[in-house]
Structure 1
Amino acid sequence: MFKNKVVVITGGSDGIGKALAEAMLKEGAKVATCGRNQQKLENLVNENQAFPLFTMTADVSKEEDCKKFINAAIEKFGGIDILVNNAGISMRALFKDTDLATLKNVMDINFWGTVYCTKFALNSIIERKGTIVGVSSIAGYRGLPGRSGYSASKYAVNGWLEALRTELLETGVNVMWVCPGFTTSNIRNAALNKDAKPQGESPMDEEKMMSAEECARHILNAIEKRKRTLVLTLNGKQTVFLNKFFPALADKMVRKFFFKNGELVK
Structure 2
Amino acid sequence: MKGFIITGAASGLGWATVQELAKRFDGQAVHFGLVDFDREGLAKNAAVLRQDGFEVSEFVADLSSEAEVAELVAGLQEAFPSVDLLVNNAGITHRSVSTQTSNAVIRRVMAVDYHAPVELAQGLHAALAAAGGTVINISSMAGWMPVLGRAGYCAAKSALHQYFETFREEVREDGIKVLMVYPSFVRTNIEANALSGDGGRAKHKQSTLGKVQTPQWMANRIISAWLAGKERLFPTDKTLLGAWLYRLWPKLFMKQMVRNFQVELDVARANREALGSEASKG
Of the candidates 56, 61, 64, which is equivalent to residue 61 of structure 1?
64
Instruction: Give the aligned partner of residue 45 of structure 1.
Output: 46
CA distance in structure 2 between the aligned counterparts of 1:264 and 1:255, rounded to whole angstroms: 13
Q: How far off is 1:102 after superposition?
A: 1.1
| CA pair 73-25 structure 1, distance change in 2 beyond 3 A | farther
Q: Report if the CA contact (8 A) 2:98-2:149 is conserved.
A: yes
CA distance in structure 2 between the aligned counterparts of 1:251 and 1:264, rounded to whole angstroms: 19
Q: Report if the CA contact (8 A) 2:95-2:264 is conserved.
A: no
Instruction: Let me know the Cα RMSD of the aligned residues.
Output: 2.2
Of the candidates 7, 12, 20, which is equivalent to residue 10 of structure 1?
7
CA distance in structure 2 between the aligned counterparts of 1:66 and 1:260, rounded to whole angstroms: 35
Q: Report if the CA contact (8 A) 1:189-1:201 is conserved.
A: no
Instruction: Give the aligned partner of residue 96 of structure 2.
Output: 93
Q: Report if the CA contact (8 A) 2:7-2:89 is conserved.
A: yes
SS of the equivalent of 2:124 reads helix
Number of positions where the alignment pairs a residue of Structure 1 with one of Structure 2: 262
| CA pair 173-112 structure 1, distance change in 2 beyond 3 A | same
Q: Report if the CA contact (8 A) 2:207-2:263 is conserved.
A: no
SS of the equivalent of 1:53 reads strand
Structure 1 gaps of 5+ residues are none
Written as runs of structure 1 = structure 2, the 5 A alignment for 1:1-266 is 4-28=1-25, 29-50=30-51, 51-199=54-202, 202-204=205-207, 208-259=211-262, 263=266
SS of the equivalent of 1:203 reads coil
Q: Report if the CA contact (8 A) 2:195-2:202 is conserved.
A: yes
CA distance in structure 2 between the aligned counterparts of 1:136 and 1:38, rounded to whole angstroms: 24
Q: Report if the CA contact (8 A) 1:146-1:264 is conserved.
A: no
CA distance in structure 1 between the aligned counterparts of 2:109 and 2:264, rounded to whole angstroms: 28
Structure 2 gaps of 5+ residues are 269-282
**Highest CA radius of gyration, 1 or 2?**
2
Q: How far off is 1:92 after superposition?
A: 0.3
Q: How far off is 1:66 after superposition?
A: 2.6
Map Cα deviations across residues 221-245 of structure 1 (whole Å, 9 max, x no partner).
1111221211124122212222222
Q: Report if the CA contact (8 A) 1:99-1:194 is conserved.
A: yes
CA distance in structure 2 between the aligned counterparts of 1:46 and 1:204, rounded to whole angstroms: 36
CA distance in structure 1 between the aligned counterparts of 2:14 and 2:204, rounded to whole angstroms: 20
CA distance in structure 2 between the aligned counterparts of 1:249 and 1:201, rounded to whole angstroms: 26
Determine which structure has the larger helix proportion and give its number.
2
The TM-score normalised by the length of structure 1 is 0.91
